[in-house]
Structure 1
Amino acid sequence: MKLIECPRDAMQGWPDFIPTATKTAYLNQLLRVGFDTLDFGSFVSPKAIPQLRDTAEVLAGLNLSQTKTKLLAIVANLRGAETAAGYPEIQYLGFPLSVSETFQQRNTNKSIAEALAEVAQMQNLCEQRGKELVVYLSMGFGNPYGDPWNPEVLGQFTQKLDALGIRIVALSDTIGASTPETIIPPFRELTAAFPHIEFGAHLHTTPQSWREKVEAAYSAGCRRFDGALGGIGGCPMAADELTGNMATENLVQYLQEQGVPTGLDLAALREAQRMSAAVFAGH
Protein backbone atom coordinates (compact mmCIF):
# COMPACT_ATOMS: atom_id res chain seq x y z
CA MET A 1 0.00 0.00 0.00
CA LYS A 2 1.37 3.41 -0.99
CA LEU A 3 -0.03 6.69 0.29
CA ILE A 4 0.92 9.80 -1.67
CA GLU A 5 0.38 13.10 0.14
CA CYS A 6 -0.33 15.98 -2.27
CA PRO A 7 0.17 19.37 -0.60
CA ARG A 8 1.01 20.74 -4.06
CA ASP A 9 -2.53 19.97 -5.18
CA ALA A 10 -3.93 21.53 -2.02
CA MET A 11 -1.86 24.69 -2.44
CA GLN A 12 -1.91 25.33 -6.18
CA GLY A 13 -5.32 26.98 -6.37
CA TRP A 14 -5.22 28.67 -2.96
CA PRO A 15 -6.21 32.33 -3.41
CA ASP A 16 -3.71 33.93 -1.02
CA PHE A 17 0.01 33.35 -1.53
CA ILE A 18 1.29 31.02 1.18
CA PRO A 19 4.68 32.34 2.36
CA THR A 20 7.69 30.21 1.44
CA ALA A 21 8.65 29.68 5.09
CA THR A 22 5.11 28.49 5.91
CA LYS A 23 5.10 26.05 3.00
CA THR A 24 8.53 24.73 3.96
CA ALA A 25 7.63 24.19 7.61
CA TYR A 26 4.41 22.39 6.63
CA LEU A 27 6.19 20.13 4.14
CA ASN A 28 8.89 19.31 6.68
CA GLN A 29 6.16 18.17 9.08
CA LEU A 30 4.61 16.02 6.33
CA LEU A 31 8.02 14.43 5.73
CA ARG A 32 7.94 13.21 9.35
CA VAL A 33 4.68 11.31 8.84
CA GLY A 34 6.12 8.53 6.67
CA PHE A 35 4.15 8.82 3.43
CA ASP A 36 5.58 6.88 0.50
CA THR A 37 5.76 10.04 -1.61
CA LEU A 38 5.20 13.77 -1.17
CA ASP A 39 3.80 15.60 -4.21
CA PHE A 40 5.42 18.78 -2.94
CA GLY A 41 5.59 21.33 -5.76
CA SER A 42 5.61 21.99 -9.47
CA PHE A 43 7.88 23.42 -12.11
CA VAL A 44 5.34 25.17 -14.31
CA SER A 45 4.91 28.73 -15.49
CA PRO A 46 4.45 31.14 -12.54
CA LYS A 47 1.77 32.81 -14.68
CA ALA A 48 -0.22 29.57 -14.74
CA ILE A 49 0.31 28.59 -11.08
CA PRO A 50 1.60 31.65 -9.17
CA GLN A 51 1.17 29.91 -5.81
CA LEU A 52 4.03 27.50 -6.58
CA ARG A 53 6.51 29.95 -8.07
CA ASP A 54 8.77 29.33 -5.05
CA THR A 55 9.09 25.53 -5.46
CA ALA A 56 12.89 25.68 -5.84
CA GLU A 57 13.22 27.78 -2.67
CA VAL A 58 10.92 25.45 -0.76
CA LEU A 59 12.93 22.44 -1.92
CA ALA A 60 16.13 24.03 -0.62
CA GLY A 61 14.55 24.23 2.86
CA LEU A 62 13.35 20.64 3.11
CA ASN A 63 14.93 18.33 5.67
CA LEU A 64 15.35 15.08 3.78
CA SER A 65 18.02 13.52 5.99
CA GLN A 66 15.66 11.59 8.26
CA THR A 67 12.75 10.62 6.04
CA LYS A 68 12.02 7.68 3.78
CA THR A 69 9.48 9.77 1.84
CA LYS A 70 10.32 10.40 -1.81
CA LEU A 71 9.63 13.69 -3.57
CA LEU A 72 7.44 14.18 -6.63
CA ALA A 73 7.20 17.39 -8.65
CA ILE A 74 4.55 18.10 -11.27
CA VAL A 75 5.65 19.37 -14.68
CA ALA A 76 3.57 20.56 -17.64
CA ASN A 77 6.14 20.30 -20.44
CA LEU A 78 9.64 19.15 -21.32
CA ARG A 79 11.17 22.41 -20.15
CA GLY A 80 9.71 21.96 -16.68
CA ALA A 81 10.83 18.32 -16.67
CA GLU A 82 14.40 19.35 -17.49
CA THR A 83 14.35 21.80 -14.58
CA ALA A 84 12.92 19.26 -12.14
CA ALA A 85 15.32 16.53 -13.29
CA GLY A 86 18.22 18.80 -12.37
CA TYR A 87 17.47 18.37 -8.65
CA PRO A 88 18.98 15.18 -7.19
CA GLU A 89 16.47 15.27 -4.30
CA ILE A 90 13.49 14.75 -6.63
CA GLN A 91 12.80 11.13 -7.50
CA TYR A 92 9.51 11.38 -9.39
CA LEU A 93 8.30 13.72 -12.12
CA GLY A 94 4.53 13.80 -12.59
CA PHE A 95 2.82 14.76 -15.85
CA PRO A 96 -0.94 15.15 -16.43
CA LEU A 97 -1.98 13.49 -19.69
CA SER A 98 -5.66 13.89 -20.37
CA VAL A 99 -7.83 11.29 -22.04
CA SER A 100 -10.07 14.25 -22.95
CA GLU A 101 -8.84 16.21 -25.98
CA THR A 102 -10.71 19.29 -24.75
CA PHE A 103 -9.09 19.22 -21.32
CA GLN A 104 -5.60 18.49 -22.66
CA GLN A 105 -5.83 21.71 -24.67
CA ARG A 106 -7.23 23.55 -21.68
CA ASN A 107 -4.63 22.24 -19.24
CA THR A 108 -1.41 22.34 -21.31
CA ASN A 109 -2.34 24.02 -24.62
CA LYS A 110 -1.47 20.85 -26.52
CA SER A 111 -3.29 18.11 -28.35
CA ILE A 112 -3.17 14.58 -26.94
CA ALA A 113 -0.85 13.56 -29.80
CA GLU A 114 1.52 16.42 -28.98
CA ALA A 115 1.37 15.59 -25.27
CA LEU A 116 2.18 11.92 -25.93
CA ALA A 117 5.19 12.92 -28.02
CA GLU A 118 6.36 15.06 -25.09
CA VAL A 119 5.77 12.19 -22.66
CA ALA A 120 8.16 10.09 -24.75
CA GLN A 121 10.82 12.83 -24.46
CA MET A 122 10.22 13.14 -20.72
CA GLN A 123 10.55 9.39 -20.26
CA ASN A 124 13.90 9.45 -22.09
CA LEU A 125 15.01 12.31 -19.87
CA CYS A 126 13.97 10.43 -16.73
CA GLU A 127 15.82 7.30 -17.83
CA GLN A 128 18.97 9.36 -18.46
CA ARG A 129 18.75 11.17 -15.10
CA GLY A 130 17.69 8.25 -12.90
CA LYS A 131 14.19 9.62 -12.30
CA GLU A 132 10.80 7.96 -12.66
CA LEU A 133 7.92 9.45 -14.62
CA VAL A 134 4.44 9.23 -13.13
CA VAL A 135 1.72 9.84 -15.71
CA TYR A 136 -1.67 11.00 -14.45
CA LEU A 137 -4.52 10.11 -16.81
CA SER A 138 -6.68 13.15 -16.08
CA MET A 139 -10.42 13.01 -16.73
CA GLY A 140 -9.79 9.33 -15.95
CA PHE A 141 -13.35 8.65 -14.79
CA GLY A 142 -15.30 10.71 -17.31
CA ASN A 143 -15.44 14.32 -18.43
CA PRO A 144 -18.05 17.04 -18.91
CA TYR A 145 -16.95 17.87 -22.45
CA GLY A 146 -18.51 14.96 -24.31
CA ASP A 147 -15.14 13.45 -25.25
CA PRO A 148 -15.08 9.63 -25.42
CA TRP A 149 -14.56 7.84 -22.12
CA ASN A 150 -14.68 4.16 -21.19
CA PRO A 151 -12.25 1.59 -19.74
CA GLU A 152 -11.14 0.70 -23.28
CA VAL A 153 -9.98 4.29 -23.86
CA LEU A 154 -7.93 4.09 -20.65
CA GLY A 155 -6.52 0.78 -21.83
CA GLN A 156 -5.44 2.28 -25.16
CA PHE A 157 -3.66 5.14 -23.38
CA THR A 158 -1.99 2.74 -20.96
CA GLN A 159 -0.80 0.58 -23.85
CA LYS A 160 0.97 3.59 -25.36
CA LEU A 161 2.52 4.49 -22.00
CA ASP A 162 3.57 0.86 -21.44
CA ALA A 163 5.35 0.87 -24.80
CA LEU A 164 7.38 3.88 -23.59
CA GLY A 165 8.42 2.03 -20.43
CA ILE A 166 6.27 4.02 -17.99
CA ARG A 167 5.57 2.01 -14.84
CA ILE A 168 3.34 4.27 -12.72
CA VAL A 169 -0.03 5.45 -14.04
CA ALA A 170 -2.52 7.28 -11.83
CA LEU A 171 -6.16 7.57 -12.86
CA SER A 172 -7.22 11.08 -11.95
CA ASP A 173 -10.69 12.28 -11.13
CA THR A 174 -10.07 15.85 -12.18
CA ILE A 175 -13.59 17.17 -11.59
CA GLY A 176 -15.02 14.76 -9.05
CA ALA A 177 -17.04 12.85 -11.65
CA SER A 178 -16.09 9.39 -10.41
CA THR A 179 -18.58 6.93 -8.98
CA PRO A 180 -18.04 3.30 -7.94
CA GLU A 181 -19.52 2.36 -11.33
CA THR A 182 -16.77 4.27 -13.18
CA ILE A 183 -13.98 3.38 -10.72
CA ILE A 184 -14.25 -0.39 -10.44
CA PRO A 185 -14.14 -1.50 -14.13
CA PRO A 186 -10.99 0.48 -15.10
CA PHE A 187 -8.95 -0.65 -12.09
CA ARG A 188 -10.13 -4.23 -12.42
CA GLU A 189 -9.30 -4.38 -16.13
CA LEU A 190 -6.06 -2.39 -16.08
CA THR A 191 -4.47 -4.17 -13.11
CA ALA A 192 -5.20 -7.51 -14.82
CA ALA A 193 -3.98 -6.42 -18.27
CA PHE A 194 -0.84 -4.60 -17.08
CA PRO A 195 0.37 -6.37 -13.92
CA HIS A 196 3.82 -4.77 -14.22
CA ILE A 197 2.37 -1.23 -13.99
CA GLU A 198 1.51 0.40 -10.66
CA PHE A 199 -1.92 2.03 -10.94
CA GLY A 200 -2.87 4.84 -8.61
CA ALA A 201 -6.10 6.62 -7.74
CA HIS A 202 -6.18 10.42 -7.56
CA LEU A 203 -9.78 10.92 -6.50
CA HIS A 204 -11.72 14.10 -5.83
CA THR A 205 -14.62 13.71 -3.45
CA THR A 206 -17.23 15.34 -1.29
CA PRO A 207 -17.45 14.52 2.43
CA GLN A 208 -20.40 12.25 1.59
CA SER A 209 -18.80 10.29 -1.28
CA TRP A 210 -15.23 9.58 -0.15
CA ARG A 211 -15.83 6.17 1.40
CA GLU A 212 -17.60 4.58 -1.54
CA LYS A 213 -14.85 5.83 -3.88
CA VAL A 214 -11.96 4.51 -1.78
CA GLU A 215 -13.76 1.23 -1.27
CA ALA A 216 -14.42 0.86 -5.00
CA ALA A 217 -10.79 1.50 -5.97
CA TYR A 218 -9.37 -0.70 -3.21
CA SER A 219 -11.74 -3.58 -3.94
CA ALA A 220 -10.79 -3.40 -7.64
CA GLY A 221 -7.10 -3.80 -6.87
CA CYS A 222 -5.73 -0.28 -6.47
CA ARG A 223 -2.94 -0.06 -3.89
CA ARG A 224 -1.67 3.48 -4.54
CA PHE A 225 -3.79 6.39 -3.31
CA ASP A 226 -3.28 10.16 -3.50
CA GLY A 227 -4.70 12.34 -0.76
CA ALA A 228 -4.42 15.79 0.79
CA LEU A 229 -4.96 16.55 4.46
CA GLY A 230 -8.30 18.23 5.02
CA GLY A 231 -9.46 17.34 1.51
CA ILE A 232 -8.24 20.71 0.29
CA GLY A 233 -7.57 21.46 -3.35
CA GLY A 234 -8.55 20.60 -6.84
CA CYS A 235 -7.54 21.50 -10.35
CA PRO A 236 -7.62 25.24 -11.10
CA MET A 237 -7.42 24.48 -14.83
CA ALA A 238 -10.76 22.68 -14.83
CA ALA A 239 -12.60 25.95 -14.08
CA ASP A 240 -15.64 24.05 -12.93
CA GLU A 241 -17.38 23.79 -9.57
CA LEU A 242 -14.97 21.48 -7.80
CA THR A 243 -15.07 18.91 -5.10
CA GLY A 244 -11.94 18.65 -2.98
CA ASN A 245 -9.09 16.18 -2.92
CA MET A 246 -9.49 12.87 -1.17
CA ALA A 247 -8.84 13.69 2.51
CA THR A 248 -5.80 11.78 3.70
CA GLU A 249 -7.26 11.29 7.16
CA ASN A 250 -10.22 9.49 5.56
CA LEU A 251 -7.88 7.22 3.58
CA VAL A 252 -6.00 6.37 6.76
CA GLN A 253 -9.26 5.69 8.60
CA TYR A 254 -10.47 3.36 5.84
CA LEU A 255 -7.21 1.41 5.78
CA GLN A 256 -7.19 1.08 9.57
CA GLU A 257 -10.74 -0.29 9.44
CA GLN A 258 -9.59 -2.88 6.89
CA GLY A 259 -6.62 -3.82 9.06
CA VAL A 260 -4.17 -2.61 6.40
CA PRO A 261 -0.92 -1.31 7.89
CA THR A 262 -0.13 2.25 6.77
CA GLY A 263 3.34 2.58 8.29
CA LEU A 264 2.55 6.18 9.24
CA ASP A 265 3.58 8.00 12.41
CA LEU A 266 0.10 8.91 13.65
CA ALA A 267 1.33 11.50 16.13
CA ALA A 268 3.22 13.26 13.33
CA LEU A 269 0.08 13.00 11.19
CA ARG A 270 -2.02 14.71 13.87
CA GLU A 271 0.51 17.52 14.10
CA ALA A 272 0.45 17.85 10.30
CA GLN A 273 -3.36 18.11 10.45
CA ARG A 274 -3.06 20.90 13.01
CA MET A 275 -0.56 22.74 10.80
CA SER A 276 -2.73 22.21 7.73
CA ALA A 277 -5.67 23.90 9.44
CA ALA A 278 -3.42 26.90 10.17
CA VAL A 279 -1.88 27.04 6.65
CA PHE A 280 -5.28 26.96 4.98
CA ALA A 281 -7.17 29.10 7.48
CA GLY A 282 -9.47 31.91 6.47
CA HIS A 283 -11.33 30.56 3.42
Structure 2
Amino acid sequence: MMDKVRIYEVGPRDGLQNEKTIVPTQTKVALIDLLSNAGFSHIEATSFVPAKWVPQMADAAEVLNGITRAKSVIYAALTPNIIGYEKAHAAKADEVAIFAAASETFSQKNINCSIAESIERFVPVIERARADNIPVRGYVSCVVGCPYEGEIDPEAVAKVAAKLLDLGCYEISLGDTIGSGTPAKINAMLKAVKEYVPAEQLAGHYHDTNGNALDNVKASLAEGLRTFDSAIGGLGGCPYAPGAKGNVSTVKLAQMLDSENYYTGLDFDVLAQAETLISTLGEHHDR
Protein backbone atom coordinates (compact mmCIF):
# COMPACT_ATOMS: atom_id res chain seq x y z
CA MET A 1 0.00 0.00 0.00
CA MET A 2 1.27 3.47 -0.91
CA ASP A 3 2.24 5.83 1.88
CA LYS A 4 -0.06 8.88 1.88
CA VAL A 5 1.26 12.44 1.81
CA ARG A 6 -1.00 15.45 2.30
CA ILE A 7 -0.28 18.47 0.13
CA TYR A 8 -1.62 21.64 1.73
CA GLU A 9 -2.30 24.20 -1.01
CA VAL A 10 -1.26 27.73 -0.01
CA GLY A 11 -1.26 29.43 -3.44
CA PRO A 12 -4.39 31.58 -3.02
CA ARG A 13 -2.94 33.16 0.14
CA ASP A 14 0.82 32.75 0.51
CA GLY A 15 1.23 32.69 -3.25
CA LEU A 16 -0.89 35.64 -4.27
CA GLN A 17 -0.20 37.97 -1.35
CA ASN A 18 2.98 39.36 -2.91
CA GLU A 19 1.72 39.89 -6.45
CA LYS A 20 2.39 43.54 -7.31
CA THR A 21 -0.84 43.95 -9.27
CA ILE A 22 -4.07 43.47 -7.32
CA VAL A 23 -5.66 40.22 -8.49
CA PRO A 24 -9.43 40.64 -9.04
CA THR A 25 -11.60 38.93 -6.43
CA GLN A 26 -13.37 36.89 -9.11
CA THR A 27 -10.00 35.52 -10.31
CA LYS A 28 -9.11 34.43 -6.77
CA VAL A 29 -12.54 32.80 -6.41
CA ALA A 30 -12.15 31.04 -9.79
CA LEU A 31 -8.71 29.76 -8.76
CA ILE A 32 -9.95 28.39 -5.43
CA ASP A 33 -12.99 26.83 -7.12
CA LEU A 34 -10.69 25.04 -9.57
CA LEU A 35 -8.38 23.89 -6.78
CA SER A 36 -11.41 22.64 -4.84
CA ASN A 37 -11.84 19.99 -7.54
CA ALA A 38 -8.20 18.88 -7.52
CA GLY A 39 -8.35 16.55 -4.51
CA PHE A 40 -6.88 18.75 -1.76
CA SER A 41 -8.12 18.34 1.80
CA HIS A 42 -6.92 21.84 2.77
CA ILE A 43 -6.70 25.10 0.82
CA GLU A 44 -5.40 28.28 2.42
CA ALA A 45 -7.79 30.74 0.81
CA THR A 46 -6.86 34.14 2.17
CA SER A 47 -5.66 36.13 5.18
CA PHE A 48 -7.34 38.64 7.45
CA VAL A 49 -4.46 41.05 7.89
CA PRO A 50 -4.68 44.86 7.79
CA ALA A 51 -5.10 45.96 4.15
CA LYS A 52 -2.44 48.64 4.59
CA TRP A 53 0.16 45.88 5.16
CA VAL A 54 -1.07 43.39 2.58
CA PRO A 55 -3.37 45.20 0.11
CA GLN A 56 -3.70 42.03 -2.00
CA MET A 57 -5.74 40.42 0.80
CA ALA A 58 -8.15 43.33 1.38
CA ASP A 59 -10.98 41.26 -0.17
CA ALA A 60 -10.58 38.31 2.22
CA ALA A 61 -14.23 38.20 3.28
CA GLU A 62 -15.46 38.55 -0.33
CA VAL A 63 -13.25 35.66 -1.40
CA LEU A 64 -14.47 33.31 1.33
CA ASN A 65 -18.07 34.31 0.69
CA GLY A 66 -17.68 33.95 -3.08
CA ILE A 67 -16.21 30.46 -3.40
CA THR A 68 -18.21 27.33 -4.07
CA ARG A 69 -17.28 25.14 -1.13
CA ALA A 70 -16.53 21.47 -1.69
CA LYS A 71 -17.64 19.32 1.25
CA SER A 72 -14.31 17.50 1.34
CA VAL A 73 -12.18 20.67 1.55
CA ILE A 74 -11.21 22.71 4.62
CA TYR A 75 -10.81 26.39 3.70
CA ALA A 76 -8.26 28.13 5.92
CA ALA A 77 -7.39 31.77 6.59
CA LEU A 78 -4.36 33.39 8.18
CA THR A 79 -5.26 35.49 11.25
CA PRO A 80 -2.59 37.62 12.97
CA ASN A 81 -4.72 38.61 15.97
CA ILE A 82 -8.19 38.47 17.52
CA ILE A 83 -9.57 41.11 15.13
CA GLY A 84 -8.44 39.01 12.17
CA TYR A 85 -9.88 35.91 13.82
CA GLU A 86 -13.30 37.50 14.30
CA LYS A 87 -13.40 38.54 10.64
CA ALA A 88 -12.32 35.06 9.51
CA HIS A 89 -14.95 33.43 11.71
CA ALA A 90 -17.65 35.76 10.37
CA ALA A 91 -16.65 34.78 6.82
CA LYS A 92 -16.94 31.09 7.81
CA ALA A 93 -13.30 30.05 7.55
CA ASP A 94 -13.09 26.34 8.47
CA GLU A 95 -9.61 26.71 9.95
CA VAL A 96 -7.35 29.58 10.97
CA ALA A 97 -3.58 29.91 11.07
CA ILE A 98 -1.32 31.95 13.35
CA PHE A 99 2.27 32.77 12.49
CA ALA A 100 5.41 33.29 14.54
CA ALA A 101 9.07 33.50 13.56
CA ALA A 102 12.20 31.77 14.80
CA SER A 103 14.11 35.04 14.28
CA GLU A 104 13.62 38.03 16.62
CA THR A 105 14.56 40.57 13.93
CA PHE A 106 12.21 39.03 11.37
CA SER A 107 9.39 39.03 13.95
CA GLN A 108 9.93 42.75 14.59
CA LYS A 109 10.11 43.63 10.86
CA ASN A 110 7.24 41.34 9.85
CA ILE A 111 4.67 41.79 12.63
CA ASN A 112 6.18 44.65 14.69
CA CYS A 113 6.65 42.70 17.90
CA SER A 114 8.99 40.24 19.60
CA ILE A 115 8.52 36.47 19.35
CA ALA A 116 7.26 36.39 22.95
CA GLU A 117 4.79 39.21 22.27
CA SER A 118 3.54 37.45 19.13
CA ILE A 119 2.84 34.29 21.14
CA GLU A 120 0.89 36.39 23.68
CA ARG A 121 -1.22 37.86 20.89
CA PHE A 122 -2.20 34.37 19.80
CA VAL A 123 -3.58 33.28 23.18
CA PRO A 124 -7.01 34.96 22.72
CA VAL A 125 -7.17 33.69 19.12
CA ILE A 126 -6.61 30.10 20.28
CA GLU A 127 -9.12 30.48 23.13
CA ARG A 128 -11.82 31.81 20.81
CA ALA A 129 -11.09 29.20 18.15
CA ARG A 130 -11.36 26.45 20.76
CA ALA A 131 -14.71 27.84 21.91
CA ASP A 132 -15.90 27.98 18.27
CA ASN A 133 -14.52 24.50 17.56
CA ILE A 134 -12.23 25.79 14.78
CA PRO A 135 -8.83 24.12 14.32
CA VAL A 136 -5.73 26.31 14.49
CA ARG A 137 -2.56 25.72 12.50
CA GLY A 138 0.72 27.34 13.50
CA TYR A 139 3.43 28.65 11.20
CA VAL A 140 7.06 29.22 12.10
CA SER A 141 8.97 31.32 9.58
CA CYS A 142 12.74 31.55 9.06
CA VAL A 143 13.32 27.97 10.26
CA VAL A 144 16.71 27.74 8.51
CA GLY A 145 17.81 31.26 7.63
CA CYS A 146 16.72 34.86 8.10
CA PRO A 147 17.28 37.79 5.73
CA TYR A 148 18.51 39.86 8.71
CA GLU A 149 20.18 37.39 11.09
CA GLY A 150 21.59 34.78 8.72
CA GLU A 151 21.52 31.16 9.92
CA ILE A 152 19.00 30.29 12.62
CA ASP A 153 19.79 27.93 15.49
CA PRO A 154 17.61 24.78 15.21
CA GLU A 155 16.92 25.03 18.95
CA ALA A 156 15.31 28.47 18.44
CA VAL A 157 12.93 26.90 15.90
CA ALA A 158 12.17 24.01 18.26
CA LYS A 159 11.25 26.37 21.11
CA VAL A 160 8.79 28.39 18.99
CA ALA A 161 7.25 25.22 17.54
CA ALA A 162 6.86 23.79 21.06
CA LYS A 163 5.11 26.98 22.23
CA LEU A 164 2.65 26.86 19.32
CA LEU A 165 1.90 23.21 20.05
CA ASP A 166 1.39 23.99 23.75
CA LEU A 167 -0.99 26.81 22.84
CA GLY A 168 -3.19 24.32 21.02
CA CYS A 169 -2.14 24.27 17.34
CA TYR A 170 -2.97 20.88 15.80
CA GLU A 171 -0.09 21.18 13.31
CA ILE A 172 3.05 23.30 12.95
CA SER A 173 4.17 24.32 9.47
CA LEU A 174 7.92 24.97 9.32
CA GLY A 175 8.71 27.70 6.80
CA ASP A 176 12.03 28.06 5.01
CA THR A 177 11.04 31.64 4.25
CA ILE A 178 14.10 32.67 2.24
CA GLY A 179 14.69 29.24 0.73
CA SER A 180 18.19 28.89 2.17
CA GLY A 181 17.55 25.32 3.34
CA THR A 182 19.57 22.32 2.23
CA PRO A 183 18.79 18.70 3.14
CA ALA A 184 21.49 18.77 5.84
CA LYS A 185 20.15 21.99 7.40
CA ILE A 186 16.54 20.80 7.21
CA ASN A 187 17.61 17.52 8.80
CA ALA A 188 19.32 19.27 11.72
CA MET A 189 16.33 21.58 12.23
CA LEU A 190 13.79 18.73 12.15
CA LYS A 191 15.80 16.63 14.60
CA ALA A 192 15.69 19.55 17.07
CA VAL A 193 11.98 20.25 16.54
CA LYS A 194 11.00 16.58 16.85
CA GLU A 195 12.32 16.60 20.44
CA TYR A 196 9.20 18.71 21.20
CA VAL A 197 6.72 18.09 18.40
CA PRO A 198 6.00 14.66 16.83
CA ALA A 199 6.62 14.32 13.08
CA GLU A 200 2.93 13.66 12.38
CA GLN A 201 2.11 17.17 13.68
CA LEU A 202 4.70 18.89 11.48
CA ALA A 203 4.49 20.20 7.93
CA GLY A 204 7.31 21.31 5.64
CA HIS A 205 6.89 24.71 3.95
CA TYR A 206 9.86 25.09 1.63
CA HIS A 207 10.55 27.95 -0.75
CA ASP A 208 12.47 27.10 -3.89
CA THR A 209 14.88 30.06 -3.98
CA ASN A 210 17.95 27.90 -4.57
CA GLY A 211 16.21 24.96 -6.24
CA ASN A 212 16.49 22.79 -3.12
CA ALA A 213 12.82 22.54 -2.13
CA LEU A 214 12.16 19.05 -3.51
CA ASP A 215 15.38 17.69 -1.98
CA ASN A 216 14.34 19.28 1.32
CA VAL A 217 10.98 17.49 1.05
CA LYS A 218 12.80 14.18 0.52
CA ALA A 219 14.94 14.85 3.61
CA SER A 220 11.76 15.60 5.57
CA LEU A 221 10.02 12.42 4.35
CA ALA A 222 12.98 10.49 5.76
CA GLU A 223 12.36 12.27 9.10
CA GLY A 224 8.72 11.12 9.11
CA LEU A 225 6.91 14.22 7.83
CA ARG A 226 3.84 13.51 5.69
CA THR A 227 2.40 17.01 5.14
CA PHE A 228 3.88 19.67 2.88
CA ASP A 229 2.74 23.14 1.84
CA SER A 230 2.97 24.17 -1.79
CA ALA A 231 1.58 26.78 -4.16
CA ILE A 232 0.09 26.22 -7.57
CA GLY A 233 2.55 27.45 -10.19
CA GLY A 234 5.20 28.08 -7.53
CA LEU A 235 3.58 31.42 -6.68
CA GLY A 236 4.81 33.49 -3.80
CA GLY A 237 7.89 34.67 -2.03
CA CYS A 238 8.41 36.79 1.04
CA PRO A 239 7.87 40.56 0.89
CA TYR A 240 10.41 41.00 3.70
CA ALA A 241 13.00 38.73 2.09
CA PRO A 242 14.31 40.34 -1.11
CA GLY A 243 14.93 37.85 -3.89
CA ALA A 244 13.10 35.02 -2.13
CA LYS A 245 11.44 33.01 -4.86
CA GLY A 246 8.10 31.32 -4.57
CA ASN A 247 6.85 28.32 -2.71
CA VAL A 248 7.60 24.90 -4.08
CA SER A 249 5.30 24.27 -7.06
CA THR A 250 2.33 22.02 -6.26
CA VAL A 251 2.65 20.15 -9.57
CA LYS A 252 6.40 19.56 -9.18
CA LEU A 253 5.88 18.39 -5.60
CA ALA A 254 3.02 16.05 -6.54
CA GLN A 255 5.01 14.63 -9.48
CA MET A 256 8.05 13.99 -7.30
CA LEU A 257 5.94 12.29 -4.61
CA ASP A 258 4.22 10.21 -7.27
CA SER A 259 7.59 9.07 -8.65
CA GLU A 260 8.68 8.12 -5.11
CA ASN A 261 5.51 6.03 -4.67
CA TYR A 262 3.66 8.33 -2.29
CA TYR A 263 -0.08 8.83 -2.74
CA THR A 264 -1.38 12.43 -2.86
CA GLY A 265 -4.83 11.91 -4.40
CA LEU A 266 -4.41 14.98 -6.61
CA ASP A 267 -5.82 15.31 -10.13
CA PHE A 268 -3.04 16.49 -12.46
CA ASP A 269 -5.48 17.59 -15.18
CA VAL A 270 -7.23 19.97 -12.77
CA LEU A 271 -3.88 21.25 -11.47
CA ALA A 272 -2.84 21.99 -15.06
CA GLN A 273 -6.00 24.06 -15.53
CA ALA A 274 -5.24 25.99 -12.35
CA GLU A 275 -1.67 26.64 -13.53
CA THR A 276 -3.04 27.97 -16.82
CA LEU A 277 -5.37 30.30 -14.93
CA ILE A 278 -2.63 31.80 -12.78
CA SER A 279 -0.13 32.00 -15.66
CA THR A 280 -1.93 35.21 -16.66
CA LEU A 281 -0.98 36.90 -13.37
CA GLY A 282 2.46 38.03 -14.42
CA GLU A 283 6.03 36.91 -14.15
CA HIS A 284 5.62 33.97 -11.75
CA HIS A 285 4.26 31.36 -14.11
CA ASP A 286 7.67 30.42 -15.51
CA ARG A 287 9.05 29.38 -12.16
Q: What TM-score comes out, normalization by structure 1 length?
A: 0.92
**Cα separation, 2, equivalents of 1:186 and 1:171:** 10
Q: C-alpha displacement at 1:163, in angstroms?
A: 2.5
Deviations 1:226-258 (A, max 9, x none): 11111111121x142212111111110111011
1:262 matched residue in structure 2: 264
Q: C-alpha displacement at 1:125, in angstroms?
A: 1.2
2:17 matched residue in structure 1: 12
**Cα separation, 1, equivalents of 2:139 and 2:150:** 17
Question: One-letter code of the match for 2:259?
Answer: E
2:234 to 209, 231, 235: 231
1:202 matched residue in structure 2: 205
Whether 1:77 and 2:89 are equivalent positions in the alignment is no
**Cα separation, 2, equivalents of 1:191 and 1:68:** 30
CA contact (8 A) 2:102 2:160 kept: yes
CA contact (8 A) 2:178 2:241 kept: no
Question: One-letter code of the match for 1:5?
Answer: E
Q: How many residues align?
A: 280
Whether 1:117 and 2:120 are equivalent positions in the alignment is yes
1:61 matched residue in structure 2: 66
1:247 matched residue in structure 2: 249
Question: One-letter code of the match for 1:34?
Answer: G
Q: Percent identity?
A: 32
| SS of 1:12 mapped into structure 2 | helix
Q: C-alpha displacement at 1:38, in angstroms?
A: 0.6
Question: Which segments of 5 or more consecutive residues in structure 1 lack a partner in the other structure?
Answer: none
1:45 matched residue in structure 2: 50
Q: C-alpha displacement at 1:17, in angstroms?
A: 1.1
Rate the CA distance shift 1:207–1:109 in 2: closer, same or farther, 3 A. Answer: closer
CA contact (8 A) 2:235 2:284 kept: no
CA contact (8 A) 2:34 2:270 kept: yes
2:220 matched residue in structure 1: 217
Q: C-alpha displacement at 1:148, in angstroms?
A: 7.5
Rate the CA distance shift 1:113–1:148 in 2: closer, same or farther, 3 A. Answer: farther
1:278 matched residue in structure 2: 280
**Cα separation, 1, equivalents of 2:284 and 2:230:** 21
Whether 1:36 and 2:41 are equivalent positions in the alignment is yes
2:107 to 85, 104, 107: 104
Q: What TM-score comes out, normalization by structure 2 length?
A: 0.91
**Cα separation, 2, equivalents of 1:258 and 1:239:** 32
CA contact (8 A) 2:233 2:284 kept: no
**Cα separation, 2, equivalents of 1:51 and 1:159:** 31
**Cα separation, 2, equivalents of 1:268 and 1:156:** 39
**Cα separation, 1, equivalents of 2:232 and 2:218:** 19
CA contact (8 A) 2:136 2:168 kept: no
CA contact (8 A) 1:5 1:37 kept: yes
Question: Which segments of 5 or more consecutive residues in structure 2 lack a partner in the other structure?
Answer: none
| SS of 1:40 mapped into structure 2 | strand
Q: C-alpha displacement at 1:218, in angstroms?
A: 1.6
Cα-Cα RMSD: 2.0
Deviations 1:195-250 (A, max 9, x none): 386101111114732332221122222111111111111121x1422121111111
Question: One-letter code of the match for 1:73?
Answer: A
